[in-house]
Structure 1
């Protein structure tokens, strides 16, 4: 009898539509309810699954923001939304903009104001609670462009020392040149033509096993070093104190000199006979 219930339970769990089986006892009814709940949870998790790396998409946007956008803004060029580098074509962009980072260990969700201790936890929160806000349409995964944009260089503290793969280099260079042609067509005007040439030098030419040109050879966004900022503030604060000390020292030295002169003159007076 026990084997019968076991077989019935397995059939309930794995059948395409368990509603056609009518439970004949309270125990079987509970088993049916549990199986249905498990299957609904599995379907919900599968529906929320996104085959796009948030971390690598974030790295790709960091490369775009630091090593491309300053030059695009300098040329006053408007990137078309058909370009895969456009902010609208990043499925995580809106969520990333709703991250509020108050401190190293304090992250806040801009949607529901919930706080987290680390960025990885707010990423999980976005995946679980705000999945419906993702722009998860086809072609909106910036992580797919990481090969062309050299994302590994901004994800690691030091560049990886791996043997160059010629086939991978050719594939990444082709993707890179396709981005240059689509986003900055040479027929799109003088600014587009200049940015096309810049993009090839900045990203594409480094995809070679010859070890010639390095990525980001044209530089990137100018960042103010925090150390120099602190030093500058300290210097500005200490300069008035320094000049004040020098002024008081010179004033005291002058007064001492005058006193010595008075004493010297008084000592030179002749005593009455």
Structure 2
């Protein structure tokens, strides 16, 4: 039992040590400094065709997490892969946690290893990440003397990162470039300026998702609008091969008229038969009445030609005189 307690104690101690290591060098702040160095400073060295000296604390090989960073693979904004073991994660944050828990042995522990998060005050990590937005009192209570101290620390780092063998002109160009990208922001006037710095990863994700959503919405909207105004999908009429464009509402009214006509036709037929019977019985029928009824039927035949065959036999009973 005592052995199990000791084992449990060592496990808890190991977890605490691992957490303290991670807290002592926050990965998110280190990432901000790393991005600024890679995107803003390293291109200046390529421009003057010189390598970053080993004395520079911003040298990539001195980065504490350089091995793990080289084994990250971003397949999409929601898929990050660990090239040590092949596991995939939905975000870089979870991949970093995986490195801390499963691949901590790939963290540099040499004497010259540097935690880039230690330079966050100079690189303004809280401002760039958006965690700190200046209010009225931040601007009022800002002291230029404190900013001068930060600026001096920045200049010291710049001097360590300038190769000694560099020519005077190249050295001046490199120094001015690094100072402009980093040290020039260390004043009360520009410290909270983010117009020339990179947008945080969260903001990029929000912009991408919003852009995709807006694009899909506009695509669907214009498809529906095009279908509505340029096709007959939403029309109240349709085109018939025989009668052209027909309104569906007119079909019911036309059907009603046809039924009424058939009813009158039936009544006329019965009257005609009755007249024939009366004629056979010797009863006189006014011929003008029959002729008038026949004219009315002919007029309705012109209106409804499709029922012409139904009443044509009426005129066979009493030929028109």
Return the TM-score normalized by structure 1: 0.61
What displacement does 1:74 show? 1.3
2:183 maps to which of 190, 198, 204: 204
Alignment of 1:68-147 (within 5 A): 68-138=41-111, 139-147=113-121
What is the number of equivalent residue pairs in this alignment? 193
Instruction: Please say if residues 127 and 194 of structure 2, whose CA atoms lie closer than 8 Å, have aligned partners that are also in contact.
Output: no
RMSD: 3.1
1:191 aligns with 2:164: no
Q: Mind listing any 5+ residue stretches in structure 1 that lack a counterpart?
A: 1-29, 221-225, 228-273
Alignment of 1:23-42 (within 5 A): 30=1, 32-42=2-12
Instruction: Please say if residues 63 and 116 of structure 2, whose CA atoms lie closer than 8 Å, have aligned partners that are also in contact.
Output: yes
Q: What is residue 269 of structure 1 aligned with on the other side?
A: none
In the TM superposition, what whole-angstrom CA distance separates every residue of 1:246-272 from its partner, at most 9, and x where no partner exists? Answer: xxxxxxxxxxxxxxxxxxxxxxxxxxx
What displacement does 1:215 show? 6.5
Q: What is residue 180 of structure 1 aligned with on the other side?
A: 158
Distance 1:187 1:104, change over 3 A: closer
Return the TM-score normalized by structure 2: 0.53
What displacement does 1:87 show? 0.4
Instruction: Please say if residues 186 and 193 of structure 1, whose CA atoms lie closer than 8 Å, have aligned partners that are also in contact.
Output: no
Q: Mind listing any 5+ residue stretches in structure 2 that lack a counterpart?
A: 199-207, 212-321
Q: What is residue 125 of structure 2 aligned with on the other side?
A: 151
How far apart in 1 are the matches of 2:149 and 2:109?
25
Q: What secondary structure is seen at the aligned counterpart in 1 of 2:64?
A: coil
1:64 maps to which of 6, 20, 37: 37
How far apart in 2 are the matches of 1:89 and 1:65?
14
How far apart in 2 are the matches of 1:72 and 1:215?
25
Instruction: Please say if residues 60 and 143 of structure 1, whose CA atoms lie closer than 8 Å, have aligned partners that are also in contact.
Output: yes
Larger radius of gyration: 2
How far apart in 2 are the matches of 1:172 and 1:123?
30
Instruction: Please say if residues 201 and 218 of structure 1, whose CA atoms lie closer than 8 Å, have aligned partners that are also in contact.
Output: no
How far apart in 2 are the matches of 1:95 and 1:165?
39
How far apart in 1 are the matches of 2:9 and 2:197?
52
How far apart in 1 are the matches of 2:115 and 2:152?
18
What displacement does 1:175 show? 1.6
Instruction: Please say if residues 45 and 174 of structure 2, whose CA atoms lie closer than 8 Å, have aligned partners that are also in contact.
Output: yes
